[in-house]
C-alpha cells in the first residue's frame, strides 16, 4: 500500500487471537500467512482497489492494542473492512468488528471464513457487522466493493430494513488458476514461521494449491466442498520460485487438506522442481489411504522432507466411527513407505471421539509409540459447526457448550457416555508425556542435531510439551 495515498478502499484484518488467562503469544506454535485474505486482496487489487492487510498475528498486536493501531497505523479511513475467523477465534473477530467500527464509523464491515459460512445468522446478528460472505469470498467481495446491489450478490448475507437476508449460495470456483497469486507484498513476510518440528530451513512460508477434500471424516468441516479443485503445476511452480527469489524462502509448507490426492499433478510439479533444481525443501499434508510408494520417492527427489498424516486413533472401531476409511495396517504401510523414501513422518492423533473409552485411548498412545513418527501431535477432538460430528452432538444432546472459545483442541466439549472429560484430558496429557519423554526419542533427537535450527526446534518443542503435561 502506498502510504501517501489519501484513499483506502479495503482494509483486511486478520483479527487478534487471545486466550483466556493470557496472550496466545506466550504459547504460540506458529504464525502463517492469512492465505484467504491475501488472495482476496490480490483479486481486489486486480480490479483496481487500493488494499491493505493488517495481520495482527504476525505483528503480535493484542486485542487491547488494536484500536490504537488502527487510529495511528492506517493511513486513511477505509471504505470496507474485511475480517475472517474460525470457530475457535470467532469471538475475537466479533470484538475486532466492534473496535473497527469505533475507529472507522463509516466503513462497511464484512465478515467471512468457515465459521461465518456455517453460522451466517449468528454472524449477521452481530451489530457491528454489515455483510457476511459465505463460502469462497474472492468474487463476492469484489462485487460488493465495486458497488453491485447486495441483493444480486450470491453467497452474501446482509440486512434489509433491519432484517437478515441470506442470498442464494455462490457456486464454487471451478478453475483455481483464474485466481491471482496471493498478495504477499501486503504481508510482513519476515514475521512468519511454521509449527515446531515441521521445518528445517528458515525463512519458511506456507502455500495453498488446492481446495476441497473427498474424505468423509466426521470431525472435519469442508468449507470448500468434497470436489477437489486444483491449481496447475505451472502456477504452483511460478509461485514457489517467486517466493524464493523475492523473499529468500528456503522451505515451503503446503497447507492443502490433501496435497497428494491428484497424483499426476504432483508428479508433474516434482518433475519441474527436479529439472530446474529449485533450491527449496517442502512438506505437505496427506492421507495414509492415498499414500503411493513410488510417488513418495519422487517427492523426496523434488525436495519433500516431511509428510503429515492424520492417523487419529489406534483403535479400528474408532477409525470406523469417525469414517477415516482406512485400517491400522494401511497406516503402518504408509508410514513405512514414507520412512523408506527418507521423508520424515509427522502424525496427528485425536482423543475424545464418540465411542471412545479408556482402552481405545490407551491403544492410540501405544500405536503412536509403535509407529514412532518424527513428530506426533495430540489433540482433543472438536465438533466444529458444519461437521457431521457437530450435527451428531447436537442431535444427541451431548454438546456441552457453544462458547466457541472453548473449542481449542485441548479440552472436550462433548459429554461421552463411556469416558469422562477428565479422563480424555488426562489421556491427552499422558500421550505427550509418554511419546516425547521416551529415552529412545530424546536420544534420537539429540544425535540428529545438525544445525542451529535443529537446536531451536528441540527447545521450542520441549517448551510446548512441558506446557501441556504441566497443566
37 and 142 both lie in a single domain: yes
How far is Cα 24 from Cα 60, in angstroms, rounded to an integer?
A: 9
Assigned domain for 321 exists: yes
Q: Tell me, what's the pLDDT at 196?
A: 74
Q: What is the CA radius of gyration of the chain?
A: 22
Assigned domain for 180 exists: no
Assigned domain for 179 exists: no
315 and 355 both lie in a single domain: yes
Assigned domain for 175 exists: no
158 and 236 both lie in a single domain: no
Domain CATH code at residue 257: 3.20.20.70
Domain CATH code at residue 140: 3.40.50.280
297 and 421 both lie in a single domain: yes
CA 196 to chain CA centroid, Å, is: 15
Query: Grid coordinates representing 23?
Result: 496472550
Assigned domain for 171 exists: no
How far is Cα 431 from Cα 410, in angstroms, rounded to an integer?
A: 12
Assigned domain for 282 exists: yes
Task: Mark 122-153 as b/e (b = at least 16 C-beta within 10 Å).
Answer: bbbebebbbbbbbbbbbbbbbbbbeeeebeeb
φ, ψ of residue 354 in degrees (nearest 5)? -55, 135
Q: Tell me, what's the pLDDT at 387?
A: 95
346 and 388 both lie in a single domain: yes
26 and 159 both lie in a single domain: yes
Give the global pTM: 0.92
3-state secondary structure (DSSP) of residue 334: helix
User: In percent, how much of the chain has pLDDT > 90?
Assistant: 83
Assigned domain for 157 exists: yes
Q: Running DSSP on this structure, what letter comes out for residue 216?
A: -
3-state secondary structure (DSSP) of residue 452: helix
Q: Tell me, what's the pLDDT at 456?
A: 62
Assigned domain for 311 exists: yes
φ, ψ of residue 229 in degrees (nearest 5)? -120, 140
Placement of cell 527427489 in the chain: 301
261 and 151 both lie in a single domain: no
Q: Tell me, what's the pLDDT at 462?
A: 62
200 and 104 both lie in a single domain: no
269 and 126 both lie in a single domain: no
138 and 215 both lie in a single domain: no
Domain boundary among 148, 166, 184: 166
Domain containing residue 251? 193-469
Report the DSSP beta bridge partners of residue 236. none
298 and 433 both lie in a single domain: yes
309 and 453 both lie in a single domain: yes
What total of structural domains would you count in the chain? 2
Q: Tell me, what's the pLDDT at 22?
A: 43
Domain boundary among 166, 184, 201: 166
Blockwise average pLDDT, block size 10, the chain, 471 residues = 63 80 49 96 98 95 94 95 95 96 98 97 98 98 98 98 97 97 97 82 93 92 82 98 98 95 97 98 96 98 98 98 97 99 98 98 99 96 96 97 93 95 97 94 75 62 63 58
Amino acid at each position: 500500500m502506498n502510504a501517501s495515498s489519501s484513499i483506502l478502499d479495503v482494509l483486511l484484518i486478520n483479527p487478534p487471537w487471545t486466550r483466556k488467562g493470557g496472550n496466545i503469544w506466550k504459547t504460540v506454535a506458529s504464525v502463517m500467512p492469512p492465505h484467504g485474505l491475501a488472495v482476496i486482496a490480490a483479486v481486489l487489487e486486480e480490479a483496481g482497489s487500493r488494499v491493505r492487510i493488517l495481520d495482527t498475528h504476525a505483528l503480535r498486536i493484542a486485542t487491547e492494542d488494536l484500536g490504537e493501531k488502527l487510529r495511528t497505523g492506517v493511513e486513511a479511513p477505509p471504505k470496507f473492512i474485511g475480517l475472517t475467523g474460525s470457530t475457535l477465534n470467532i469471538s475475537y473477530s466479533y470484538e475486532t468488528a466492534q473496535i473497527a467500527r469505533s475507529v472507522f464509523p463509516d466503513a462497511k464491515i464484512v465478515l467471512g471464513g468457515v465459521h461465518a459460512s456455517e453460522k451466517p445468522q449468528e454472524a449477521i446478528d452481530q451489530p457491528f457487522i454489515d455483510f457476511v460472505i459465505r463460502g469462497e469470498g474472492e468474487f463476492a467481495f469484489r462485487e460488493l466493493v465495486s458497488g453491485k446491489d447486495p441483493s444480486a450478490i450470491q453467497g452474501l448475507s446482509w440486512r434489509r430494513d433491519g432484517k437478515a437476508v441470506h442470498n442464494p449460495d455462490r457456486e464454487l470456483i471451478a478453475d483455481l488458476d483464474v485466481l491471482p497469486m496471493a498478495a504477499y507484498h501486503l504481508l510482513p513476510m519476515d514475521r512468519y514461521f511454521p509449527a515446531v518440528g515441521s521445518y528445517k530451513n528458515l525463512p519458511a512460508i506456507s502455500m495453498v494449491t488446492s481446495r476441497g477434500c473427498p474424505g468423509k471424516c466426521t470431525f472435519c468441516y469442508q468449507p470448500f466442498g468434497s470436489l477437489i479443485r486444483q491449481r496447475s503445476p505451472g502456477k504452483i511452480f511460478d509461485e514457489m520460485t517467486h517466493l524464493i527469489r523475492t523473499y529468500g524462502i528456503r522451505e515451503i509448507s503446503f497447507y492443502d487438506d490433501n496435497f497428494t490426492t491428484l497424483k499426476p499433478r504432483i508428479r508433474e510439479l516434482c518433475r519441474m522442481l527436479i529439472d530446474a533444481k529449485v533450491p527449496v525443501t517442502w512438506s505437505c499434508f496427506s492421507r495414509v489411504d492415498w499414500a503411493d510408494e513410488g510417488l513418495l520417492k519422487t517427492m523426496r527427489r523434488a525436495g519433500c522432507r516431511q509428510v503429515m498424516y492424520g492417523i487419529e486413533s489406534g483403535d479400528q472401531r474408532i477409525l470406523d466411527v469417525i469414517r477415516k476409511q482406512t485400517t491400522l495396517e494401511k497406516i503402518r504401510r504408509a508410514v513405512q513407505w514414507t520412512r523408506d523414501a527418507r521423508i520424515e513422518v509427522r502424525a496427528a492423533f485425536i482423543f475424545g471421539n464418540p465411542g471412545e473409552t479408556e482402552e481405545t485411548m490407551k491403544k492410540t498412545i501405544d500405536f503412536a509409540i509403535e509407529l514412532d513418527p518424527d513428530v506426533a501431535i495430540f489433540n482433543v477432538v472438536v465438533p466444529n459447526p458444519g461437521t457431521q460430528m457437530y450435527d451428531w452432538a447436537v442431535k444427541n444432546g451431548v454438546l456441552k457448550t457453544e462458547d466457541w472459545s472453548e473449542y481449542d483442541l485441548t479440552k472436550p466439549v462433548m459429554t461421552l457416555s463411556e469416558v469422562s472429560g477428565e479422563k480424555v484430558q488426562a489421556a491427552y496429557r499422558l500421550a505427550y508425556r509418554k511419546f516425547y519423554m521416551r529415552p529412545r526419542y530424546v536420544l534420537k533427537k539429540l544425535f540428529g542435531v545438525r544445525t542451529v535450527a535443529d537446536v531451536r526446534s528441540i527447545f521450542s518443542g520441549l517448551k510446548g510439551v512441558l506446557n501441556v503435561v504441566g497443566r
